[in-house]
Amino acid sequence: MKELPHTLTAKKEMLVRLKEDFLQKNQRYEQVKSKVKELREQLAEAEQKRAELEARMEFLQTQREFEAQDKEIRMAAEKEQQIRRDLQREESRMEEIKQELERERLLIEEQEKEISKEEEAIQSSLQEKMKVLEELKREEEKIGPLLDPDMVFKFSRIIQSKEGVGIVPVIKDVCQGCFMLLPREFVNRIRRGEEIIFCPHCSRILFFQEVPEEVPQVEEEEEESFGELSDLVDEDELFEDDLIDDEDSIDFLGEEEEEGETIAPSTLLKHKEAPEEEIEEDLDEEDLDHPLEEEDIDIEDEVDELEEEEEEEEIDEDIDEYDED
């Protein structure tokens, strides 16, 4: 009930400030308005004086009188122009203040309407709360004689000192009235509910309130994320890639067997994983890594030379025998 008029009070204070500003601007408007009136009168006098001086020009006879009269006319005209400029400035200022006053007047009217509506709503709400309060008082009168007088007195003192909040829950071992942590044994006594227990810090009556524990959903989210990643890869594409790699390795082995060359198992693995350019480089390196083949070629050449020498010796012996015969 005490909290209901707070917003209404703030709006009323704002309305008072708006009215004060409106009054101050209205005073300025009246001052400017009176000055505009005064300037208009001065302008009319200046125009009349200039017209009279111009009318006298017809009756002048000497040059000196004519020059003096012309000077007075110029001075009257300058004064008239100055008054006209001042009048225009004050009129524009008066118009601005008038527009501001109109805006503030509309704002004040809207604020007054809102305040009247809120007052009506507060009055209706207040009447309903008064009815509920009367019903609670009647129930209190019925139950009061059955309660311990000391407990009722203590509870009424707590309500008065704690702004009407005398009973609060205990959530996760914390009093929700003063937000102080309570001992575990003390909380277990409150949980059992066998007696009326007061908070040792704020003196409010306590009751235990269960808080449902939130089930973590991290594992499910991780499984869903893994599932989404696996959906991005097609199993058929993976199977086709494996088949292509196997076919390339088989074709390479077939070509090497036709040429009569032996390939080490490590080389086979390299050719299966490496691209075609790296395969050619590996084969060139293997040819360089077998110097025994060059030695075998040199030995065969020496054997051929020895056989040729033996044949030449046999031919020479036959020729010598023939000469002797």
pLDDT tens for the chain, 325 residues long, are 455 567 778 888 888 998 999 999 999 999 999 999 999 999 999 889 888 888 888 787 888 888 888 888 899 899 999 999 999 999 999 999 999 999 999 999 998 998 888 888 888 888 898 899 899 888 888 887 887 888 888 888 888 888 888 899 999 899 999 999 999 999 999 998 888 899 999 989 999 988 776 655 544 454 554 454 445 445 455 445 554 455 454 454 444 444 444 444 444 444 444 444 454 555 455 444 444 444 555 666 776 777 777 777 776 676 666 566 5
Measured in residues, the chain has a length of 325
Between CA 257 and CA 265 the distance in angstroms is 14
**86 and 128 within one domain:** yes
Between β-strands 174-175 and 205-208, what pairing exists: parallel, antiparallel or unpaired?
unpaired
Residues 204 and 240 in one domain: no
The DSSP H or E segment spanning 174 is: strand 174-175
Residue ranges making up the domain that contains 158:
147-208
Domain boundary among the residues 118, 139, 160 is at 139
Residues 46 and 128 in one domain: yes
Is residue 312, in this structure, part of any structural domain at all? no
In a shared domain, residues 174 and 250: no
The number of folded domains in the chain is 3
Do residues 54 and 36 share a domain? yes
CB 162 within 8 A of CB 201: no
Global pTM reads 0.41
Rg for the chain, CA atoms, rounded:
59
Q: Please count the other Cβ atoms lying within 10 Å of the Cβ belonging to residue 83.
A: 20
In a domain, 314, yes or no: no
Same domain, 166 and 127: no
Same domain, yes or no, for 124 and 27?
Answer: yes
